[in-house]
Amino acid sequence: MLIYKILRGPEWAALRKDGDTDGAPIDLADGYVHFSTAAQAAETAVKHFADQDDLFLVAVDAERLGDALKWEVSRGGAEFPHLYAKLKLEDVAWAQPLPLQDGKHQFPPGLEEASA
């Protein structure tokens, strides 16, 4: 199963350069890297990245993360994937820009349907 991380441009560049990351400032504050499922990603974008451009959607195979990945209740009682380890570039299945058009982030075809 793929899970998703939204990164700002500089965060994605740092992950590519360094090979791993502890995540964004919210991840550092909470002590784990926040992820979303396909069904949760669009809401995450609205809640935490409204009107932000220069974003990247990073897909990670959850099985590669092993025991460091925990599913925990968060927003609205839903379980979200949280990584209690560094996110490694080698664990990234793919990444692509998450452009903002007319005030809405444009997710890859098929991903938004998964969240409908």
Domains of the chain plus CATH, in order, are 2-115 (3.20.170.20)
Does residue 106 have a pLDDT over 80?
Answer: yes
Against a cut of 0.85, is the pTM above it?
yes
Q: Which two tokens stand for residue 103?
A: 């005030």
Report whether pLDDT(67) > 90: yes
Average pLDDT on 18-39 reads: 96
- Whether 33 and 83 have beta carbons less than 8 Å apart is answered as yes
Categorize the per-residue pLDDT at 75 as very low, low, confident or very high, splitting at 50, 70 and 90. Answer: confident
Nearest Cα neighbor of 14 from 98, 88, 100 is: 88
Region 96-102: mean pLDDT is 95
